[in-house]
């Protein structure tokens, strides 16, 4: 397994754990309406900040795995940069740097949409298409506005994103680790 695939899987794991534990450790936030970045503040902020750093690493690892596709790879780097900014400089509600860059960092995950579509189509793998379509369907209402239940919709979309990253990493691993058959040292000798 390549370093990029391991980085993607490890980062995706940290992100998934943070998404699941966030609502459990922060009962003061309504999981139906609170977006995942809301969990990056308060007493358990390091948990979600680690999740954002993890998904940034997963995005960077995926960009390395997708290097044969220049545009999607660049979009994955943009996505990773936005996630890293949210993880390192979460919004605080005060006039700080994190609050100034947060709206721009929130746009970075939108770069994941065309990247997932492009790679999923080019690779023509059903395992990539299903989470990519889920990602699009779950995030589309969030892009168009702030619908009721936006927090749970956002979290479900984030889990679909994690699934796409994990499937992409493992599908690249199996494709790159397959070794051609070698001839037996006894072949041809009679």
Residue (of 92, 89, 60) closest to 73 by Cα position: 60
User: Is 182 part of any domain?
Assistant: no
Work out how many domains the chain is built from and give that number: 1
Tell me the C-alpha distance between 67 and 74, whole Å: 9
How many H helices and E strands in the chain? 7, 0
Encode pLDDT of 177-187 as tens digits: 444 444 445 54
User: Is 66 part of any domain?
Assistant: yes
User: Is 185 part of any domain?
Assistant: no
Encode pLDDT of 67-89 as tens digits: 888 888 888 888 888 888 888 87
Domain that holds residue 10: 3-175
Mean pLDDT along residues 11-34: 92
User: Is 92 part of any domain?
Assistant: yes
User: Is 25 part of any domain?
Assistant: yes
User: Is 183 part of any domain?
Assistant: no
User: Is 180 part of any domain?
Assistant: no
Q: Is pLDDT above 60 for 139?
A: yes
Look up the pTM and report it: 0.78
Mean pLDDT along residues 139-151: 78
User: Is 184 part of any domain?
Assistant: no
Q: Given pLDDT bands bounded at 50, 70 and 90, which one contains residue 21? A: very high
Instruction: Give per-residue burial for 74-109: e unless 16+ CB within 10 Å, then b.
Output: ebbbbbbbbbbbbbebbbeeeeeebeebbeebeebb
């Amino acid at each position: 397994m390549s370093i990029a695939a391991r980085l993607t899987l490890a980062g995706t794991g940290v992100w998934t754990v943070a998404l699941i534990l966030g609502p459990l450790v922060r009962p003061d936030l309504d999981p139906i309406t609170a977006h995942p970045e809301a969990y990056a503040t308060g007493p358990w902020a390091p948990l979600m900040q680690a999740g954002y750093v993890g998904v940034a690493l997963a995005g960077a690892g995926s960009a390395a795995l997708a290097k044969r596709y220049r545009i999607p790879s660049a979009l994955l780097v943009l996505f990773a940069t936005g996630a890293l900014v949210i993880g390192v400089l979460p919004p605080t509600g005060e006039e700080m740097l994190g609050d100034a860059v947060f709206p721009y960092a929130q746009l970075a995950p939108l770069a994941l949409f065309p990247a997932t579509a492009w790679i999923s189509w080019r690779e023509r793998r059903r395992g990539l298409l299903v989470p990519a379509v889920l990602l699009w369907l779950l995030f589309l209402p969030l892009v168009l506005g702030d619908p009721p239940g936006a927090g749970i919709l956002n979290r479900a979309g984030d889990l679909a994103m994690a699934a796409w990253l994990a499937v992409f990493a493992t599908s690249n691993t199996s494709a790159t680790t397959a070794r051609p058959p070698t001839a037996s040292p006894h072949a041809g000798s009679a």
